[in-house]
Structure 1
Amino acid sequence: MKTVGLIVEYNPLHNGHYYHFQQSKKSSGADAVIAIMSGHFLQRGEPAMVGKWARTEMALRMGVDLVIELPVAYSTQPAEWFAYGAVSALDATGVVDSLCFGSEGGDIASLNAVSAVMHEESAAFHSLLQQELKTGLSYPAAYGKAVATYIPGIDAAELAKPNNTLGLHYLIALRRLQSRIEPLTITRQKAEYNQQDITDAVIASATALRHILFEKKMLEEIASFVPEGTMSVLRHEWEAGRAPVSWEHYAKPLLLQLLHHSPAQLSTFHEVTEGLEYRIKQALPELFGSTDLVEKLVALLKTKRYTRTKLQRMLLRILLNHTKEQLSPSVLAQGVPYLRVLGFSNKGQDLLKKMKTTARVPIITKVASITNPSPLLALDIQATSIYALAYASASKQDFFRDYYEPPVRIER
């Protein structure tokens, strides 16, 4: 069975994702689709607007055959480690033939050429990168400029576009893992990543759709931009009081962490770098009286160097209690230590049977049966409990749902 892999967040799953899904199957000639999907917390340092099981159901209803969770250790990382974790999961299944990702340029040859040079970063490149960072640029912008200097003819602005950046790091990860998976790319259509305005009748970015849901609180207004399966799942989550989830739902537990820890203690958390622990402490007195506490904190901390995404990822690690030691490069470089199954179709069940002999790490379908969980799995379980703090009326099952919830299954 020929299988294509997708790396997704589906926050929420919309018509643009459906187009990518269809084109991925077409360009790869695949019979089955495996999605590596971020859990409750996402790459830009945000909580998902609905939980991982709801988004798994969206994916399965669209036609994905097997959904595997990207551990939270990787799902909220910068591009390099996010990509490495996701690609390592696809590679570890032993059944994925190709990886198809969206990109602004749609040019796999150019990205592949850059990845051929960049998968082994030299001391010379590292020096160039540090020089660009010292000018005050954010890491993505500095990385793009350094690559353009290191490899003549590269367009730094084009490389710095979000999907192109992720695509490059997928290719770098494939090379570092010496994976046999074939990379493919589909050009992003009609709505740019993070585009807030809607310019098409049926395709809008996830950012624009979330803006409607959070600002206007009108679920039906997005109906023409998402598959019916997405609408059905969203309606159910709304009615259950489990959506939409935003950063502000975690303002009080985050504030408790920030007030409780000293600057020295804050500096031990992942992504707290270059004296940000002191900037956080200086900003705290300005927050009281604010209605949107997290938004105000990010605005106070934000500089040209520290982007909103960087700061949100840092605050998320503090909220989740993730330390530098837990998420050190040596830990992350090992790749995913397990494959946590969130859902499957009939065809996905066939893939799982095959993976019993091909997978290079344990396959987990029932967390309650794991007697000695991986440290990264423990972080996923903790993330579920913290995510449930946002629910209108959370139950015991919500806080410990990893132990109670079987994989979502759809017959087709």
Structure 2
Amino acid sequence: MKAAGLVVEYNPFHNGHQYHLDQSLAYTKADLAVGVMSGNFLQRGEPAIVNKWARTRMALEAGVDLIVELPFVHAVQKAEYFAEAAVLLLEELQCDWVCFGSEQGNIQPFMDTYDLLDEHADFINNHAKHFMDEGHSYPKAMALAYGELKHTHPHMLTLDQPNNILGFHYVSAILKNKLSIQPVTIQRTGSGYHDADLPKNSIASATAIRKELTSEGRLEDVARFLPRTSYEILSDYHEEMNTWHTWEMYWPYVKLKLLTTSPDRLKDIYEMKEGLENRLISAAQTSATFLDFMNKVKTKRYTWTRLQRLLTYLLVNITNDCIPQDLKPTYIRVLGFSQKGREYIQSLKKEKGHLLLTRPAASNDPILAIEQRSANVHASVLPPELWQHVQKREYQPPVILP
């Protein structure tokens, strides 16, 4: 069977995701869709609005055939690390394509830009260092350096849009590692990735949907942006858990950690650099809410996303020695599948059986142990009886589409 690979978060699965899924299958004529999905915490350092099991079911009901977990240590990362880990996992799953949405909508500029950046690497690095010395964050400095090169090469890809950026890193990972998987891009339609307002049509960004739900909006208010099955799964989750997961819910835990951990211990947290621990402690002492805290610590150098990821590492106690340098998967954990997805996994067993994780409770893989820890943290804001249920679910079999 030919498989189209998708790198997803589905937070939550909405009509734009449905369009991307349908277009990916139509363009590639693949037999099935395989999604590599972040777990309970996401690339930009946010708790998923509902847990990974509910998001897996949304994906399966919408037509994805197989959902595999991108481990926490790879998922909550800067774009290039996240993208490379995801593509390597799709390669292990023997997917024929990785299909990503982009503002560009044409794959050739991604390939051409990779070649140009490789050719002018010294130019980019020198200019990036100059912009960082001026006080810019690393992502901003790289963007400015890229802009300098684009002045003389105007046909280069526009890398100031989030999906173009991620797509470029998927292509870079494929070319750098000489992988067999082929990149395909689908033109985005409707709202942009960061659009925070609900549009008049039926395709809204996940950001806008979450903003509506978490600002005392009703699920009914976003119904037109969701497939019926996503709406029902979200409704069931909220009825059972009586909440959506947001950073404000975890703020008391973050504040407690910052105010009870010594600066020397905080220095061990992954990505805690440049004396940032002192700035965080000082802000925590005078902040009543997560939003208040973030507005105090955010600067031109310390972006909102970088800080969110850092606080996620703090919550889950991710120290520098937790993060592997080798991005090659140490296991493949299936979160859910359809009948077709089950057949596909069966077909991989002879060659990839040693990687397929069938009994999570029996594994001693340190990356899986962190995954289980992050699931407990995500569930920690729930009442005790629900928390215990989520803990048990972490060791149970995948979601199976009837």
How does the TM-score come out when normalised to structure 2?
A: 0.94
Secondary structure in structure 2 of the residue aligned to 1:363: coil
Aligned: 1:398 with 2:390: yes
Contact 2:14 2:225 in 1 (8 A): yes
Secondary structure in structure 2 of the residue aligned to 1:69: strand
Aligned: 1:376 with 2:372: no
Partners of 1:385 and 1:316 in 2: how far apart? 13
Give the one of 342, 346, 350 matched to 2:339. 346
Question: Are the structure 2 counterparts of residues 201 and 334 from structure 1 closer, same or farther at C-alpha, using a change threshold of 3 Å?
Answer: closer
Contact 2:7 2:100 in 1 (8 A): yes
- The amino acid that maps onto 1:279 is R
Partners of 2:101 and 2:300 in 1: how far apart? 27
Contact 2:270 2:320 in 1 (8 A): yes
Secondary structure in structure 2 of the residue aligned to 1:365: coil
Partners of 1:156 and 1:275 in 2: how far apart? 37
Contact 1:81 1:332 in 2 (8 A): no
Aligned: 1:44 with 2:38: no
Partners of 1:30 and 1:119 in 2: how far apart? 32
Question: Are the structure 2 counterparts of residues 164 and 321 from structure 1 closer, same or farther at C-alpha, using a change threshold of 3 Å?
Answer: same
- 1:94-173 to 2 correspondences below 5 Å: 95-118=94-117, 122-150=121-149, 152-154=152-154, 158-173=158-173
Partners of 1:334 and 1:212 in 2: how far apart? 36
Shift of 1:91: 0.9
Partners of 1:212 and 1:178 in 2: how far apart? 42
Shift of 1:157: 9.3
Shift of 1:243: 3.5
Aligned: 1:319 with 2:325: no
Structure 1, unpaired ranges of 5+: none
Contact 2:24 2:186 in 1 (8 A): yes
Partner of 1:262: 262
Contact 2:4 2:99 in 1 (8 A): yes
Partners of 1:361 and 1:132 in 2: how far apart? 46
Question: Are the structure 2 counterparts of residues 180 and 121 from structure 1 closer, same or farther at C-alpha, using a change threshold of 3 Å?
Answer: farther
Partners of 1:389 and 1:227 in 2: how far apart? 29
Shift of 1:356: 0.9
Partner of 2:219: 219
Contact 1:145 1:156 in 2 (8 A): no
Partners of 1:214 and 1:319 in 2: how far apart? 21
Secondary structure in structure 1 of the residue aligned to 2:36: strand
Partners of 2:119 and 2:71 in 1: how far apart? 25
Shift of 1:130: 1.8
Question: Are the structure 2 counterparts of residues 61 and 155 from structure 1 closer, same or farther at C-alpha, using a change threshold of 3 Å?
Answer: same
- The amino acid that maps onto 1:179 is L
Contact 2:283 2:296 in 1 (8 A): yes
Question: Are the structure 2 counterparts of residues 334 and 211 from structure 1 closer, same or farther at C-alpha, using a change threshold of 3 Å?
Answer: closer
Q: Count matched residues.
A: 400
Contact 2:124 2:142 in 1 (8 A): no
Partners of 1:153 and 1:104 in 2: how far apart? 19
Partners of 2:269 and 2:61 in 1: how far apart? 38
More displaced stretch, 179-188 vs 271-280: 271-280
Question: Are the structure 2 counterparts of residues 122 and 201 from structure 1 closer, same or farther at C-alpha, using a change threshold of 3 Å?
Answer: closer
Give the one of 294, 298, 319 matched to 2:294. 298
What do residues 50-73 of structure 1 show as CA deviations (whole Å, max 9, x unaligned)? 000000000000000100000000
Partners of 2:92 and 2:148 in 1: how far apart? 35
Partners of 2:196 and 2:169 in 1: how far apart? 25
Partner of 1:67: 67
What do residues 15-60 of structure 1 show as CA deviations (whole Å, max 9, x unaligned)? 0000000000011111100000000000111000000000000000
How does the TM-score come out when normalised to structure 1?
A: 0.92
Contact 2:41 2:76 in 1 (8 A): yes
Aligned: 1:389 with 2:359: no
Shift of 1:359: 2.8
Shift of 1:122: 4.3
Partners of 1:309 and 1:361 in 2: how far apart? 36
- The amino acid that maps onto 1:63 is G
What do residues 165-198 of structure 1 show as CA deviations (whole Å, max 9, x unaligned)? 1111111111222210110101111100110112
Question: Are the structure 2 counterparts of residues 34 and 242 from structure 1 closer, same or farther at C-alpha, using a change threshold of 3 Å?
Answer: farther
Structure 2, unpaired ranges of 5+: none
Partners of 1:119 and 1:272 in 2: how far apart? 30
More displaced stretch, 127-136 vs 349-358: 127-136
What do residues 123-160 of structure 1 show as CA deviations (whole Å, max 9, x unaligned)? 55333222222223333322222233346325899302
Partner of 1:367: 360
Aligned: 1:207 with 2:200: no
Question: Are the structure 2 counterparts of residues 399 and 217 from structure 1 closer, same or farther at C-alpha, using a change threshold of 3 Å?
Answer: farther
Shift of 1:88: 1.1
Contact 1:269 1:318 in 2 (8 A): yes
What do residues 232-256 of structure 1 show as CA deviations (whole Å, max 9, x unaligned)? 1101101111641111111222122
- The amino acid that maps onto 2:166 is L
Secondary structure in structure 1 of the residue aligned to 2:142: helix
Contact 2:84 2:327 in 1 (8 A): no
Contact 1:148 1:155 in 2 (8 A): no
Partner of 1:228: 228
